[in-house]
């Protein structure tokens, strides 16, 4: 399958994520959109990594090109998991305090 | 080694002072430190021919900076002034009360270390380090123990001088990268062969820092405010010693490094200085607050000195160097008097004072002598310097000398006005409270008066001490 | 005998010691001892000066006495040297001689002062004598300048001696500042000399003067003359001297009549070579001197304060001395300095005696008829008046005549104008005399009751000075009367030798000279008689009108200076303080701070607190960056 398909898919996902973050006010949805953006990047990493690895292996079986990109995905997943746990905790606290998960209520920093 | 000792004593003394408790202990300890530092300086002069004039040890070899000190005649004279001023300041303000006295005296001594470092440094990085080290304690001293508007005044002072320092830092770094083996040492800077274009902008970078410190018109507006708001002991340090940092820096870090730019810009600097001198004199006549009056009078004197530094003849340079010392001593005397008047009457406004001559004849005699030195009457120390400087100025340009001469007349106007409004006339409700000069203030002023006459009558030793640095600078310029 | 030269330093040293003892020990030394120390120091100097006089009388060339190196740096060498020659010794004698008499007089005059102030007074007086001696004994211009400023300081201190009075303080300040203006000129003159000759020492400069261009010499001499106008109270800097009368009367006698104000004459006489070589300066000196003589004389006619009359008379007489210097009559000018020192000190001390008797009343309208109550003062004062008016054989005649004859030789106009001044002098002096001593007493009952002759320590100086005022003229008898009888001229010949060679001497024929003397004497006697008759019978009591009012107000010169100099300086200060310092410079500095604050306020608007807007900004920025990296 050509790499372009992956790229288009990833860009679409990423754009959806960005649009979501920009337009939605519900903290949980914003959160999900952030995850969407992260996973779009993951998808790209995996796709490019696979592509480079295959291309190099065909030309020269002993080439040193590894699958570092795919390894990175795990890092991102770990960070995202950590982020989610902290983020959800914040959202819970937020809900407890203001009985809402609307981020527009959180504008106290302005003052 | 004595050079290092000279720096170490106030530094260590200052730090230990922070840990002392009790008014008496702190004051006697810091006086002891100040005297010790004076003693070392005295020994240094006594054994002038035997002792080494330089000291150097590796400091930051990676950066090409070593902890290098160098004492020539001028820095010896200024170190002597520092060594002499501190005991006088401490004695004369012995009875002043300060909140958290240990911190006050500790910071004062740290400032002394910084000032001495500036006078001795022979490495640009060390020089910059001490330049800032001197500034920071003074900042805290002004902002914590100052008068009502201290925050605004200190802020202005700090921003002004700090801005100048940054310009200087840029200049120093640029020159550092120009040296062949990346070195901050004074000799390497002296050996730089900068092009005229480089010199012309580097000159202004460094001069900006020095001019603000001196201060030269129109960079002077921090000074009256800072002098007015600082506690008087700090004002003494500021005006007697810290302004000399700027003047001295011109001598060691500006003139020899940028000979071409000097020729190009000497006219502008001299013009500014002389204009500032007349300007400050006229403003001094307008002042009602004694501290502001002395501040403006000091600006006028500094103007003459900074003009003379840029005149390439023996007379002007020698006069300016002598005047470094004399101005320091004299202005100290003025501050002591202002301090004791303020302490006893609670005001510094000339319009509210009067008739103190009846109350304290001794004070009047001492102040009149100091004031006469302030207006450079012959046989007082300032006359020697002013005579030589005006002579040099005259050889440089007749009309500038004549214009500067107006300030001589104006100085008589404002100084005599001060004497008259403070001392003559009859006493009023405010001055009725005045008791007399205390012994410690009398001691401080007497030392100053002795110095005034000694140098006024027989300036020969100072000529001998500083002749070498004058010739050296003239050599660089030519 | 010549070894005495090695002790020349004693002359200024004695008064200095006196100053130190009286000044530092003022709380401990009792009044009588203060007087003895003060006067004794000056007497000792006088004795040494007499010995020195004997030595230099025998020797023509000047002696230099080296004390120590004062300024020695680079090419500049100014030693602290004393020079003893015929000119300086003459001044030393006058200073210490008259000075001693005035010290003696002061012991009685200042008796009412408390012991501390009494000591302070004598300390100042001794310091003055010290400075004045330094001025005349210095071997170079810098030492002269030290003395020059020193006497100015003492004058300041003594004018403001009664420091509680604000007006006196103002007068003292005015004197000092006016002197300072002159001193600036003097100082610039010194720098010019230093530049041209490379030295300030007289013996180096004068022989070289011929090699310098006339233009430069003119500038130098004019600058020095500016200094002289300040110190010796000439137009335009004369206004301080009348105000200086605020000081105690003996001070006025010593400083503001006999010695300090003649410093300018000494200076020009000392630099006679330079002045002779600069004829245009000489003209300026003569014209300024003569104008001052006339101006001051007109003012003196309408003054009612006994000391003010004498003050303006001093200004006027100093004008004559400058006239003498200007026409090259150096000996005449120095001669007049000497005789004037005697008779003007006498007049001031006489006035002091009157003021003492009248309990500090100085207005002559409230005096009158004092001749019977104060016989010694009266006789001596009359002698002084005759001497200053210029009646032979009193001393004033000889010295003034010498100046006027030289003026005639230079230009007859100078003579006739000068004669006019002399007539006015005679007129106002006898107006003063008549209103003070003639007619009937116009003071209060109380004053009349307490009128008394002064004690011996005041009258003895009066008698001695009166004697000197009578006989001092005989050292300078003109050739007209007896050939070779002008002892003073012979004595001073070495000092003025160079000038005499350079200057062609205009001789006036004897017949003309007789004629001039006859005319002037007749006119002077007439004006004396007129004044005497006019004011003995009907003293001038009303305030003057018309021109008289202008004169009484001193031609409004003080007011003019106030408007032209003081006020503009004040306003300039206010303008600079308010607009340049506060608005422009501080405004710029504070403006920089304000700009930062304003910028911060504007940027703060970006921070809305909405998470969405922050993200939007972020995304937009990233997009811009992408565009930037990809397409540019």
Q: Please, what is the average pLDDT of chain C?
A: 87
Contacts of residue B470, Cβ cutoff 8 Å, sequence gap at least 6: B73, B314, B317, B318, B321, C73, C74
Task: Give pLDDT, residue A111.
Answer: 53
Task: Give pLDDT, residue B388.
Answer: 92
Q: What is the pLDDT of residues C553-611, one digit of tens each?
A: 888 888 888 888 888 888 888 888 888 878 888 888 888 888 988 998 888 888 777 77
Q: What residue numbers bound the domain in which B334 lies?
A: 267-272+283-478
Measured in whole angstroms, the distance separating CA A98 from the mean position of its chain's CA atoms is: 28
> Which of B195, B299, B312, B187 has the alpha carbon at shortest distance from B238?
B299
Give B68's strand partners. Answer: B56
Is residue C68 pLDDT above 60, yes or no? yes
Task: Mark whether C and A touch (3+ CB pairs within 8 Å).
Answer: yes
Is B262 inside a domain boundary?
A: no
For residue C592, the distance in angstroms to the closest alpha carbon of chain A comes to 26
Measure the CA dihedral C91/C96/C97/C98, to 10°.
Answer: 90
Alpha-carbon radius of gyration of chain A: 19
> Which of C172, C205, C200 has the alpha carbon at shortest distance from C186?
C200
Is residue C475 pLDDT above 90, yes or no? no
Cis bond before residue B215 (omega within 30° of 0): yes
**Phi and psi at residue B37, in whole multiples of 5°?**
-65, -35
User: Measured between alpha carbons, how far is C295 from C316 in angstroms, rounded to an integer?
Assistant: 8
Share of chain B above pLDDT 70, in %: 100
Q: Which residue of C has its CA nearest to B424?
A: C163
Q: What is the pLDDT of residues C305-350, one digit of tens each?
A: 889 999 999 999 999 999 999 998 899 999 999 999 999 999 999 9
Question: Testing the interface with C: which of B416, B436, B458 to mutate, by most C Cβ within 10 A?
Answer: B416
For residue B420, the distance in angstroms to the closest alpha carbon of chain C comes to 7
Task: Give pLDDT, residue C465.
Answer: 92
Helix/strand/coil percentages in chain B, nearest 5: 80, 5, 20
Question: Testing the interface with C: which of A14, A15, A18 to mutate, by most C Cβ within 10 A?
Answer: A18
Q: Which residue of C has its CA nearest to A26?
A: C612
User: Measured between alpha carbons, how far is C212 from C208 in angstroms, rounded to an integer?
Assistant: 7
Is residue B262 pLDDT above 70, yes or no? yes
Per the model's pLDDT, the better-predicted residue between C412 and A109 turns out to be: C412
Is B207 inside a domain boundary?
A: yes
Contact A107 C616 (CB under 8 A): no
In chain C, residues with a C-beta closer than 8 Å to the C-beta of A111 are 609
Instruction: Work out the pLDDT band at A109, boundaries 50, 70, 90.
Output: low
Same domain, B71 and B204: yes
Contact B394 C192 (CB under 8 A): yes
Q: Which residue of C has its CA nearest to B372?
A: C153
Average pLDDT over residues C617-627: 91
Task: Give pLDDT, residue C17.
Answer: 93
Same domain, B236 and B301: no
β-strands C76-84, B54-60 pairing:
unpaired
Q: Which residue of C has its CA nearest to A107?
A: C609
Is residue C540 pLDDT above 90, yes or no? no
Average pLDDT over residues C140-154: 92
Same domain, B202 and B295: no
Q: Looking at the complex, does the CB of residue A29 fall below 8 Å from at least one CB of chain C?
A: no
User: Measured between alpha carbons, how far is A41 from C580 in angstroms, rounded to an integer?
Assistant: 63
User: Measured between alpha carbons, how far is C367 from B413 in angstroms, rounded to an integer?
Assistant: 38
Task: Give pLDDT, residue B449.
Answer: 92
User: Measured between alpha carbons, how far is B342 from B360 in angstroms, rounded to an integer?
Assistant: 14
Share of chain A above pLDDT 90, in %: 42
User: Measured between alpha carbons, how far is B316 from B251 in angstroms, rounded to an integer?
Assistant: 13
> Which member of B159, B394, B424 has the closest CB to residue C160?
B424
Is residue C505 pLDDT above 70, yes or no? no
| DSSP result, C323-390 | HHHHTT-HHHHHHHHHHHHHHHHHHHHHHHHHHHHTTS--BGGG---TTTT-HHHHHHHHHHHHHHHT
Q: Looking at the complex, does the CB of residue C571 fall below 8 Å from at least one CB of chain B?
A: no
Average pLDDT over residues B37-57: 88
Query: In terms of C-beta density within 10 A (0-12 exposed, 13-18 middle, 19 or more buried), how is residue A59 classed?
Result: exposed
Q: Is the dihedral of CA B472, B390, B335, B457 positive or negative?
A: positive
Number of structural domains chain B divides into: 2
Same domain, B246 and B322: no
> Which of B444, B137, B220, B30 has the alpha carbon at shortest distance from C581?
B220
For residue C72, the distance in angstroms to the closest alpha carbon of chain B comes to 7
Is residue C379 pLDDT above 70, yes or no? yes
Q: What is the pLDDT of residues C438-457, one digit of tens each?
A: 888 887 888 788 888 888 88
Is residue A110 pLDDT above 80, yes or no? no
Length of chain B: 478
Per the model's pLDDT, the better-predicted residue between C551 and C519 turns out to be: C519
Q: Looking at the complex, does the CB of residue A21 fall below 8 Å from at least one CB of chain C?
A: yes
- Most confident among A8-12, B46-50, B458-462 (mean pLDDT): A8-12
Reading phi first (left if > 0) and then psi (alpha if -120 to 50, else beta), residue C186 is in: alpha
Same domain, B460 and B398: yes
What letter would DSSP give residue B349? Answer: B
Instruction: Work out the pLDDT band at B77, boundaries 50, 70, 90.
Output: very high
Is residue B82 pLDDT above 90, yes or no? yes
Q: Which residue of C has its CA nearest to B217?
A: C585
User: Measured between alpha carbons, how far is C465 from C472 in angstroms, rounded to an integer?
Assistant: 10
User: Measured between alpha carbons, how far is C423 from C293 in angstroms, rounded to an integer?
Assistant: 11
Same domain, B239 and B301: no
In chain C, residues with a C-beta closer than 8 Å to the C-beta of A21 are 612, 615
Same domain, B44 and B170: yes
For C37, the token pair is 């120390």
- Most confident among C203-212, C345-354, C478-487, C556-565 (mean pLDDT): C345-354
User: Measured between alpha carbons, how far is C380 from C388 in angstroms, rounded to an integer?
Assistant: 12
CB B474 within 8 A of CB B317: yes
Contact C569 B285 (CB under 8 A): yes
User: Measured between alpha carbons, how far is C142 from C219 in angstroms, rounded to an integer?
Assistant: 18
Cis bond before residue C392 (omega within 30° of 0): no
Q: What is the pLDDT of residues B305-338, one digit of tens each?
A: 999 999 988 899 999 999 999 999 999 999 998 8
Contacts of residue C128, Cβ cutoff 8 Å, sequence gap at least 6: C150, C151, C154, C155, C158, C254, C255, C260
CB B350 within 8 A of CB B412: no
Residue with tokens 């001028």: B74
Instruction: Work out the pLDDT band at B434, boundaries 50, 70, 90.
Output: confident
Is residue C221 pLDDT above 90, yes or no? yes
Is B340 inside a domain boundary?
A: yes
Same domain, B253 and B384: no
In chain B, residues with a C-beta closer than 8 Å to the C-beta of C141 are none
Same domain, B97 and B18: yes
Measure the CA dihedral A93/A99/A100/A106, to 10°.
Answer: -60
Task: Identify the H or E element spanning B59.
Answer: strand B54-60
Q: Looking at the complex, does the CB of residue A103 fall below 8 Å from at least one CB of chain C?
A: yes
Contact A21 C607 (CB under 8 A): no
Same domain, B89 and B183: yes
Q: Is the dihedral of CA C510, C512, C515, C521 positive or negative?
A: negative
Instruction: Work out the pLDDT band at C1, boundaries 50, 70, 90.
Output: low
β-strands B65-70, C63-73 pairing:
unpaired
Question: Testing the interface with C: which of B412, B414, B452, B468 to mutate, by most C Cβ within 10 A?
Answer: B412
Range with lowest mean pLDDT among C186-200, C269-283, C489-503: C489-503
What letter would DSSP give residue C538? Answer: S
Same domain, B105 and B66: yes
Q: Which residue of A has its CA nearest to C607?
A: A110
Same domain, B215 and B141: yes
For helices C141-159 and C115-137, the axis angle rounded to 10 degrees is 160
Most distant CA pair in chain C: distance in Å? 120
In chain A, residues with a C-beta closer than 8 Å to the C-beta of C616 are 22
Q: What is the pLDDT of residues A53-69, one digit of tens each?
A: 888 888 887 777 777 88
Task: Give pLDDT, residue C410.
Answer: 86
Q: What residue numbers bound the domain in which A38 lies?
A: 3-110
Is residue B384 pLDDT above 80, yes or no? yes
Q: What is the pLDDT of residues B336-362, one digit of tens each?
A: 988 888 888 888 888 888 888 888 888
Give C83's strand partners. Answer: C64
Cβ-Cβ contacts under 8 Å between A and C: the total is 28
Contact B159 C170 (CB under 8 A): no
- The CATH number covering residue A75 comes to 1.10.287.3510
Number of structural domains chain A divides into: 1
Task: Give pLDDT, residue B108.
Answer: 93
Cβ atoms within 10 Å, residue B322? 29
* ipTM greater than cut 0.90: yes
Contacts of residue C476, Cβ cutoff 8 Å, sequence gap at least 6: C331, C335, C398, C399, C402, C486, C487, C488, C489
User: Measured between alpha carbons, how far is C185 from C200 in angstroms, rounded to an integer?
Assistant: 16
Q: Please, what is the average pLDDT of chain B?
A: 89
Task: Give pLDDT, residue B29.
Answer: 92
| DSSP result, C255-294 | IIIISGGGHHHHHHHHTHHHHHH-HHHHHHHHHHHHHHHH
> Which member of C608, C609, C619 has the closest CB to residue A22?
C619
Average pLDDT over residues C523-533: 89
């Amino acid at each position: 399958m050509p790499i372009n398909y992956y790229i288009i898919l990833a860009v679409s996902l990423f754009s959806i994520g960005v649009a979501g973050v920009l337009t939605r006010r519900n903290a949980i949805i914003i959160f999900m959109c952030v995850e969407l953006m992260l996973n779009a990047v993951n998808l790209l990493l995996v796709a490019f990594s696979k592509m480079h690895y295959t291309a190099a292996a065909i030309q020269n079986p002993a080439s040193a090109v590894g699958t570092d990109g795919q390894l990175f995905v795990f890092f991102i997943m770990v960070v995202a998991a950590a982020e989610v746990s902290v983020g959800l905790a914040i959202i819970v606290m937020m809900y407890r305090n203001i009985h809402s998960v609307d981020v527009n209520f959180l504008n106290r920093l302005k003052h | 080694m004595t050079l290092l000792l000279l720096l170490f004593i106030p530094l260590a003394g200052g730090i230990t002072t922070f840990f002392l408790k009790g008014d008496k202990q702190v004051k006697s300890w810091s006086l002891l430190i100040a005297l010790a530092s004076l003693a070392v300086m005295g020994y240094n002069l006594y054994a002038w021919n035997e002792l080494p004039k330089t000291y150097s040890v590796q400091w930051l070899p990676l950066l090409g900076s070593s902890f290098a000190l160098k004492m020539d005649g001028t820095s010896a004279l200024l170190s002597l002034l520092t060594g002499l001023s501190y005991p006088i300041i401490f004695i004369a303000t012995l009875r002043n009360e300060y909140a958290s006295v240990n911190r006050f005296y500790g910071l004062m001594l740290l400032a002394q270390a910084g000032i001495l470092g500036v006078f001795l440094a022979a490495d640009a990085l060390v020089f910059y380090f001490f330049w800032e080290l001197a500034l920071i304690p003074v900042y805290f001293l002004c902002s914590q123990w100052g008068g009502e508007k201290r925050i605004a005044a200190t802020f202005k002072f700090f921003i002004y001088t700090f801005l100048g320092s940054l310009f200087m830092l840029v200049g120093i770094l640029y020159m550092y990268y120009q040296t062949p083996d990346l070195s901050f040492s004074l000799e390497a800077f002296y050996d730089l062969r900068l092009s005229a274009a480089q010199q012309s902008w580097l000159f202004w970078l460094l001069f900006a820092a020095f001019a603000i410190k001196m201060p030269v018109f129109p960079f002077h507006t921090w000074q009256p405010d800072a002098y007015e708001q600082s506690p008087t002991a700090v004002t003494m340090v500021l005006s007697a010693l810290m302004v000399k940092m700027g003047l001295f820096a011109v001598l060691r870090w500006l003139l020899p490094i940028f000979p071409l730019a000097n020729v190009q810009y000497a006219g502008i600097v001299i013009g500014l200085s002389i204009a500032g001198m007349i300007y400050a004199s006229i403003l001094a006549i307008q002042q009602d607050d004694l501290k502001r009056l002395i501040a403006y009078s000091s600006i006028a004197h500094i103007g003459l000195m900074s003009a003379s530094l840029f005149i390439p003849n023996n007379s002007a340079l020698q006069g300016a160097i002598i005047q470094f010392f004399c101005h320091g001593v004299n202005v100290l005397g003025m501050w002591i008097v202002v301090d004791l008047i303020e302490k006893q009457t609670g005001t510094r406004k000339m319009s509210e004072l009067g008739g103190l001559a009846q109350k304290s004849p001794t004070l009047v005699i001492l102040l009149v002598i100091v004031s006469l030195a302030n207006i450079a009457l012959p046989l007082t120390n300032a006359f020697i310097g002013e005579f030589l400087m005006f002579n040099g100025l005259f050889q440089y340009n007749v009309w500038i000398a004549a214009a500067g001469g107006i300030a001589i007349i104006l100085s008589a106007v404002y100084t005599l006005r001060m004497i008259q409004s403070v001392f003559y006339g009859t006493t009023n409700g405010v001055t009725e409270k005045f008791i007399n000069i205390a012994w410690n203030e009398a001691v401080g002023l007497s030392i100053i008066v002795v110095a005034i006459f000694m140098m006024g009558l027989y300036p020969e030793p100072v000529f001998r001490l500083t002749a070498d640095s004058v010739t050296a600078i003239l050599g660089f310029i030519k | 005998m010549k070894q005495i030269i090695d002790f020349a330093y004693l002359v200024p040293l004695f008064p200095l010691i006196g100053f130190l003892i009286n000044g530092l020990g003022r709380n401990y030394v009792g009044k009588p001892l203060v007087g003895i120390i003060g006067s004794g120091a000056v007497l000792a100097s006088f004795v040494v000066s007499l010995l020195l006089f004997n030595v230099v009388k025998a020797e023509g060339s000047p002696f230099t006495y080296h004390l120590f190196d004062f300024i020695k740096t680079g090419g500049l060498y100014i030693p602290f040297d004393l020079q003893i020659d015929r000119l300086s010794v003459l001044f030393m004698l006058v200073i210490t001689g008259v000075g001693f008499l005035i010290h003696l007089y002061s012991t009685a005059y200042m008796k009412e002062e408390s012991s501390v102030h009494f000591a302070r007074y004598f300390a100042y007086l001794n310091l003055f004598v010290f400075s004045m001696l330094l001025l005349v004994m210095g071997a170079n211009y810098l030492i002269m300048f030290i003395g020059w400023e020193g006497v100015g300081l003492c004058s300041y201190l003594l004018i403001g001696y009664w420091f509680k009075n604000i007006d006196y303080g103002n007068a003292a300040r005015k004197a000092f500042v006016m002197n300072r203006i002159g001193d600036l000129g003097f100082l610039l003159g010194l720098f010019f000399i230093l530049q041209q000759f490379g030295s300030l020492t007289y013996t180096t400069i004068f022989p070289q003067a011929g090699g310098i261009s006339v233009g430069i010499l003119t500038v130098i001499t004019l600058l020095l003359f500016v200094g002289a106008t300040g110190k010796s109270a000439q137009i335009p800097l004369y206004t301080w001297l009348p105000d200086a009368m605020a000081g105690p009367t003996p001070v006025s006698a010593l400083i503001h009549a006999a010695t300090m104000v003649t410093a300018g004459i000494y200076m020009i006489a000392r630099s006679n070579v330079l002045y002779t070589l600069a004829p245009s300066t000489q003209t300026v000196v003569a014209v300024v001197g003569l104008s001052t003589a006339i101006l001051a004389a007109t003012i003196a006619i309408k003054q009612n304060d006994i000391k003010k009359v004498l003050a303006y008379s001093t200004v006027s007489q100093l004008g004559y001395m400058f006239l003498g210097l200007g026409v090259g009559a150096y000996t005449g000018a120095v001669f007049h300095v000497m005789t004037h020192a005697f008779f003007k000190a006498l007049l001031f001390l006489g006035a002091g005696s009157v003021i003492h008797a009248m309990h500090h009343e100085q207005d002559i309208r409230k005096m009158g008829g004092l001749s019977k109550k104060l016989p010694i003062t009266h006789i001596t004062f009359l002698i002084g008046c005759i001497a200053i008016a210029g009646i032979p054989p009193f001393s004033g005649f000889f010295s003034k005549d010498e100046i006027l004859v030289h003026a005639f030789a230079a230009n007859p106009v100078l003579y006739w104008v000068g004669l006019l001044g002399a007539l006015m002098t005679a007129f106002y002096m006898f107006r003063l005399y008549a209103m003070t001593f003639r007619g009937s007493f116009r003071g209060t009952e109380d004053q009349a009751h307490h009128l008394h002759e002064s004690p011996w320590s005041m009258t003895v100086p009066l008698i001695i000075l009166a004697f000197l005022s009578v006989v001092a003229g005989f050292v300078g008898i003109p050739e007209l009367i007896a050939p070779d009888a002008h002892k003073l001229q012979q004595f001073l010949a070495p000092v003025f030798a160079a000038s005499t060679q350079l200057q062609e001497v205009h001789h006036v024929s004897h017949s003309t000279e007789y004629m001039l003397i006859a005319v002037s004497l007749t006119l002077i006697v007439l004006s004396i008689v007129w004044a005497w008759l006019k004011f003995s019978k009907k003293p001038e009591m009303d305030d003057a009108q018309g021109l008289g009012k202008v004169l009484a107000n001193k031609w409004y010169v003080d007011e003019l200076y106030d408007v032209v100099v003081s006020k503009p300086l004040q306003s300039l200060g206010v303008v600079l303080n308010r607009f340049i310092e506060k608005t422009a410079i501080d405004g710029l500095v504070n403006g920089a701070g304000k700009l930062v604050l304003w910028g911060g306020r504007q940027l703060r608007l970006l921070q809305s607190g909405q998470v969405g807007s922050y993200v939007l900004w972020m995304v937009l920025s990233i997009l811009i960056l992408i565009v930037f990296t990809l397409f540019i």
